Chains A and B, each alone.
Chain A
Amino acid sequence: AQSVTQLGSHVSVSEGALVLLRCNYSSSVPPYLFWYVQYPNQGLQLLLKYTSAATLVKGINGFEAEFKKSETSFHLTKPSAHMSDAAEYFCAVSDWKGGGNKLTFGTGTQLKVEL
């Protein structure tokens, strides 16, 4: 079965600094991978997705992620953090078995941006 591990439940960066949120996956088939963002008391919004095309994926709000098969990783980065980036971020892998595309999520990383 597919699984996702997010290293670091809390990450703190200064405004303007690099954001790096880590995600490693386990999958028996070529995976589809996703990053979502969640603001307090809201649903999840898709940031970006990898679906076996280009390994470097660009998303909304200046975020990007690189699929590295050899490292089974899909880390999320942003060159310069903004206060509005403070939120919880979830990495997910898609499982297509049994009908429907079920996503398995990591436990999330809370990003704090400090002045």
Chain B
Amino acid sequence: SQTIHQWPATLVQPVGSPLSLECTVEGTSNPNLYWYRQAAGRGLQLLFYSVGIGQISSEVPQNLSASRPQDRQFILSSKKLLLSDSGFYLCAWSLTGGANTGELFFGEGSRLTVL
């Protein structure tokens, strides 16, 4: 069966420091990968998605970037964090091609607090 892992689960960082959140999927090949951010009362906002290694699409301009160095690894980064980057970050994956029935499968999330 497929599993998705995110780490770290919790992170407290000072303003201006770098960020790296990592996500790994196991048990499937060539998944679509996604980063969402959840802010209180605002639902989930899609930040990035990827349909293959090195292929990243950005949904909103921001202080963050994403990379996909391996098929099942997705990394969210920042060079200098802002207070507004605080939130709950969720990684997700989906099947591709004919096996794709639309749903996303989410990790447990990473809570980032920028002070």
Contact = CB atoms under 8 A, between A and B. Distances in A.
Interface of A: 9, 32, 34, 36, 41-46, 49, 51, 90, 94, 98-108
B106 A44 contact: yes
B74 to A, nearest CB: 12
A42 B108 contact: yes
B105 A101 contact: no
B43 A43 contact: no
B42 A107 contact: yes
Given A100-B34, A102-B59, A107-B42, 11 more contacts: A36-B106, A41-B88, A43-B106, A43-B108, A44-B90, A44-B106, A49-B103, A99-B57, A100-B32, A101-B102, A106-B43
A90 B32 contact: no
B100 interface: yes
14 contacts: A34-B103, A43-B106, A43-B107, A44-B92, A44-B104, A51-B102, A100-B32, A100-B57, A101-B32, A101-B94, A102-B49, A103-B104, A107-B41, A108-B41
